[in-house]
A and B are shown apart, each in its own frame.
Chain A
Amino acid sequence: MFEWIRFIAGTGFLATGIVIFAIELYGAFHYDYVLNRMHMAAFGDTFGIGVSLVGLMLINGLDFTTLKMMLVILFLWCASPVSSHLIARLEAATNEKLEEHMEVEKE
């Protein structure tokens, strides 16, 4: 019984992750402006990967591999948002026509 619950929960998480990746893909191709598309990409790279890995961890059960997967989640959650943030900052610093796409606070 417990095995079945674990399996169903794990596959549920994995399926959710796949749906999130699908949303990410759609958003990355649907939007025009780079910051919107980058938002979608970063969303998939953090939330989608996190949920999928949690699903894999549930299916795998508690052992050393699970701990390693936890470390992978931690590492990806450090790396992906930071790199997206840096690229976004570069775009905001170099785009001269930023006002066309968003409200910019005047200094």
Chain B
Amino acid sequence: MSRKKTEKEYEKTFACHFFRWLHGEKDLYVGQMEMRPQEVYQESKEEAEKRQRAKNILLNKIYGRKKSKSIKYLELFYRLASILFCGILIYLLLLTVSWLPPIGVADRPVNNEVSKRYIEKGLEETGAINIVSGMILDYRAFDTLGESHVLFVATVTVLIMLRLDKKHDNGTDLSIEEAEANDRNYEPKNDAILQMSAYVLVPAIILFGIYVILNGHLGPGGGFSGGAIIGAGLILYLNAFGFQKTERFFTEKTYKWISFGSLSFYCIAKSYSFYTGANHIESMIPKGTPGAILSSGLILPLNIAVGLVVACTMYAFYAMFRKGGF
């Protein structure tokens, strides 16, 4: 004898809910959770006109489109040239891909004497146990210098775009103080729990970052990863204690001088090392015994320089996006 249920009774059972969910007939999110699908933005007529007017003003006043026809032609040329350029680039890249050797062939061009030399003589020539460190900070140090400069240029770009003045200058933008007050309107200020945990964690995080930087030539780690850890610690400290506390030891001036000092030190030290190396002059930089903390020549100071730049860049990005300056 089988039990029979009416449809209304069945609809209340767990099995019904489960199978409806399984077949996708019932969406658990719709109507149940506190979320709504985003509405499509619809522009009213006045807003569209206002936008068009603003665009015209921009084109006329800043680019002077009304005054000269040549700018119009230049725009047309620019568009055509960019399409042409992209087409050529796509063609070239596809052509290069078609020339690549098949995967797994022994005589691929990558499989050459360079990597062999790195592995066999890396320890002897650079003094670093971590071969990757020896590669990026000794054999290919200019590449790493470029990367550090990319970070620096990125910060400068963000500074140009997001920077606010200390005071009002023309009454349109917020000043720094107002931006901070505006930003922290709803945010819990001086939260005791966060402050306590930051008080415990921040020294450990920064110490760990320093350890990663100083051990870059002995094991996994190095300037970029260690700098990122220190930057994260600084950001945690900033979140817990606010800008007033961090500005006691980290201001725009500090950032400027640390970045400038580290990058120029890197540049000068590596130029000296490359110059002496290329001209077969004794560079006078001791290699030390591999495995000791003070060893492997220039790699340790360069790691420290890179770490400082990365840590400052992380912090500066955060401060800039948060209130447009620091």
Residues of chain A at the chain B interface (Cβ within 8 Å): 29, 32-34, 75, 78-79, 82, 85-86, 89-90, 93-94
Q: Find out whether the CB atom of A90 lies under 8 angstroms from the CB atom of B197.
A: no
Kindly specify which of B38-46, B113-121, B186-194, B284-292 makes contact with the partner chain. Answer: B186-194
- Is B7 interfacial (CB-CB < 8 Å)? no
Beyond A34-B34, A85-B193, whether A90 also contacts B201 by CB under 8 A is: no
- Is B33 interfacial (CB-CB < 8 Å)? yes
List, sorted by A's number, 25 A–B pairs whose CB atoms are closer than 8 Å. Answer: A29-B28, A32-B32, A32-B33, A32-B34, A33-B34, A34-B34, A78-B197, A78-B200, A78-B201, A79-B201, A82-B194, A82-B197, A85-B191, A85-B193, A85-B194, A86-B188, A86-B191, A86-B194, A89-B188, A89-B191, A90-B187, A90-B188, A93-B186, A93-B188, A94-B186
Residues of chain B at the chain A interface (Cβ within 8 Å): 28, 32-34, 186-188, 191, 193-194, 197, 200-201
Knowing that A78-B201, A82-B197 touch, tell me 6 more A-B residue pairs with CB under 8 angstroms. A29-B28, A32-B32, A79-B197, A82-B194, A89-B188, A90-B186
Give the complex CA separation of A90 and B191 in angstroms.
11
Give the complex CA separation of A86 and B28 in angstroms.
27
Main secondary structure of the interface of B (DSSP, over half): loop
| Closest CB in chain B relative to A69 CB, distance in Å | 16
CB-based nearest A residue for B187: A90
Give the complex CA separation of A93 and B187 in angstroms.
8
Give the complex CA separation of A85 and B191 in angstroms.
10
Nearest 4 A/B pairs, CB to CB? A89-B188, A82-B197, A78-B197, A94-B186
Q: Find out whether the CB atom of B193 lies under 8 angstroms from the CB atom of A82.
A: yes
A-chain residues with CB within 8 Å of residue B186 when the two chains form the complex: 90, 93-94
| Closest CB in chain B relative to A76 CB, distance in Å | 11
| Closest CB in chain A relative to B258 CB, distance in Å | 28
CB-based nearest A residue for B29: A29
A-chain residues with CB within 8 Å of residue B194 when the two chains form the complex: 82, 85-86
CB-based nearest A residue for B200: A78
Give the complex CA separation of A99 and B28 in angstroms.
25
Give the complex CA separation of A29 and B21 in angstroms.
13
A-chain residues with CB within 8 Å of residue B197 when the two chains form the complex: 78-79, 82
CB-based nearest B residue for A87: B188
CB-based nearest A residue for B31: A32
Give the complex CA separation of A79 and B187 in angstroms.
18
Give the complex CA separation of A93 and B186 in angstroms.
7
CB-based nearest B residue for A85: B193
B-chain residues with CB within 8 Å of residue A93 when the two chains form the complex: 186, 188
CB-based nearest A residue for B195: A82
